[in-house]
Amino acid sequence: MRIEIVGARSIPDSREKPTIETTLRSGELEAKASVPSGKSTGAHEAKELRDEDGSVSTALSNVTGEIAEAISTREFASTKELDAFLIELDGTPDKSRLGANAILSVSISATRLFALQAGVPLWRYLADTYGTTPSAPRLFVNVMNGGAHAGFRLPIQEHIFMVGEATLTESFATAERGFAELGEMLKSETDDLQMGDEGGYSPAFADFDKPFELLTKLVEKHQNTAIAIDSAANELRNDHGGYTLIGKDYTSEELRKLYVDLVGKFPFHAVEDPFAETDSKSFTELTADIGKQVLVIGDDITVTNPKRIENAIEEKSMNAVLIKPNQIGSVSEAAEAVKKTHSAGWATVCSHRSGETDDTFIADFAYGMGAHGIKAGGLGQKVRREKYERLCSIEKEVTI
Ligand code: 2PG
Ligand code: MG
């Protein structure tokens, strides 16, 4: 297929920060994609290209200039071929020359074009191209926001209501009910209730257990639900090699004990980034402690990078991996990261970023890859709900 770049423009993400939206054309077919942006990031993520003033102007001109010119003279048979070409064109290990945001916007919109050309839904094209078995993911709904996404009003970044009903439509309905009920509970607990970056409630509790007590009430009310957290522990690191939560210092050892107690006390399903990306030894120890009961998920430590995932598999430092296409910068490498994770018998959870757009690619990706779960934020923002709604439509496409 011949691919022509129609244009690329700057659009605001959910935090009003500029991001890229790229439109491609092939003959009569047209497709576009926009890319999200993280706030609690890993040091080894592919490089999002931003100018000093925070704009994405250079990344945009890379799409409409160098990339447009380079791809215009060739034919591509699949996203795989295109991604390999773009990676070589960039020539750096972290996509810092052309920008991971620039490259990913082309990679995703081209994937849509290939799916249109094949006349199949996006999730089906992804599964056929990468040889995965599609399945319905569990919903990881971030109902209480803390950490860097909510001015550290809670120390833990994400308090997640995990729902795994028989169908996605039922899961979404349960998530909606739970979200509304939690809102009511919180209103009677505090009169200082805000919303966080990811469309979840943001109360300020000095009591560490309080959010888990409230979530437990929800879990007791609804079958097929459980608690998950993302500590995003890079953000909890202090100057003396430990961690600080609500003004109290913890060594890695003490923090590990806190997680073991937490998982013993409350109905947990998963713990993401319990330690910083540099503390893989603690990851391994915690996985040995609780890995039979719950998922220990790596995010900032693995950054969707197949090589770093391989390393984690060797170190047994987790038993599940978060997958974010923009951490690595192309659809094909994100798919490779999924396959590497699954080949170790580990689970994947595909994830949005805290700065999102209305692009719902991650929903098709999670479904097509046969991921264990999808993390797409709380239900208080349209850009988050759209991902879950897309999943419900996919389910309808499957049964037609
Ligand atoms: C995370 C993400 C998404 P951010 O840490 O998992 O929830 O946050 O996009 O800010 O890295
Ligand atoms: Mg995370």
Q: Determine the structural domain holding residue 259 and report its residue range.
A: 130-399
Q: Which atom of ligand 1 is nearest to the CA of 232?
A: 5
Residue where a domain terminates, one of 65, 94, 120: 120
Residue 369 domain-assigned (yes or no): yes
Ligand nearest to the CA of 351: 1
Instruction: Note whether 102 and 240 are same-domain residues.
Output: no
CA of 25 to the centre of ligand 1 (A): 31
CB-based pocket (< 6 A), ligand 1: 38-41, 158, 198, 230, 232, 299, 322, 351, 353-354, 375
Q: Retrieve residue 186's tokens.
A: 């919180």
Cβ pair 256, 285 in contact under 8 A: yes
Same domain, 286 and 334: yes
Residues 57 and 174 in one domain: no
Ligand nearest to the CA of 377: 1
Give me the CATH number covering residue 31.
3.30.390.10
To test the pocket of ligand 1, the residue of 40, 145, 352 to mutate (highest count of ligand atoms within 8 Å of its CB) is 40
> How much distance in Å is there from the Cα of 390 to the middle of ligand 2?
22
Q: Is residue 125 part of a domain?
A: no
Q: Are residues 46 and 179 in the same domain?
A: no
Which of 15, 198, 353 best tests ligand 1's pocket when mutated (most atoms within 8 Å of CB)?
353
| CATH at 167 | 3.20.20.120
The CA-CA-CA angle for residues 181, 185, 189, to 5°, reads: 165
115 plus 134 within the same structural domain:
no
246: Cα separation from own chain's centroid: 26
Report whether 271 contacts 297 (CB < 8 A).
yes
174 and 141 within one domain: yes
Ligand 1, atom 3, lies closest to the CA of 353
Please give the tally of structural domains in the chain. Answer: 2
Whether the pTM exceeds 0.85: the reply is yes
Structural domain includes residue 285: yes
The ligand minimizing its distance to the Cα of 45 is 1
Out of 85, 100, 120, a domain closes at 120
- Residues 295, 211 within the same domain: yes
Q: Record the tokens describing residue 248, joined without a space.
A: 């109290």
Residues 40 and 174 grouped into a single domain: no
Residues annotated catalytic, as ranges: 198, 324
Contacting residues for 126 by C-beta, under 8 A, at least 6 apart: 111, 115, 132, 331, 335, 364, 365, 368, 369
d(CA 73, CA 58): 23
Q: Which ligand 1 atom is the nearest neighbour of the CA of 37?
A: 9
Q: Are residues 79 and 140 in the same domain?
A: no
CA of 219 to the centre of ligand 1 (A): 24
Q: From the CA of 38, how far away is ligand 1's center (Å)?
A: 6
Residue by residue, DSSP assigns 350-399 as EE--SB--S--HHHHHHHHHT-SEEE---SSSHHHHHHHHHHHHHHHHHH
Domain closes at, from 91, 120, 149: 120
233, two tokens: 């522990």
Task: State which ligand 1 atom lies nearest to the alpha carbon of 351.
Answer: 3
Residue 89 and residue 56 in one domain: yes
Nearest CA to ligand 1 atom 4: 38
Whether residue 363 sits in one domain with residue 330: yes
Mind listing the pLDDT tens digit of every residue in the chain (400 residues)? Answer: 999 999 999 999 999 999 999 999 999 999 999 999 999 999 999 999 999 999 999 999 999 999 999 999 999 999 999 999 999 999 999 999 999 999 999 999 999 999 999 999 999 999 999 999 999 999 999 999 999 999 999 999 999 999 999 999 999 999 999 999 999 999 999 999 999 999 999 999 999 999 999 999 999 999 999 999 999 999 999 999 999 999 999 999 999 999 999 999 999 999 999 999 999 999 999 999 999 999 999 999 999 999 999 999 999 999 999 999 999 999 999 999 999 999 999 999 999 999 999 999 999 999 999 999 999 999 999 999 999 999 999 999 886 5
Q: Are residues 88 and 160 in the same domain?
A: no
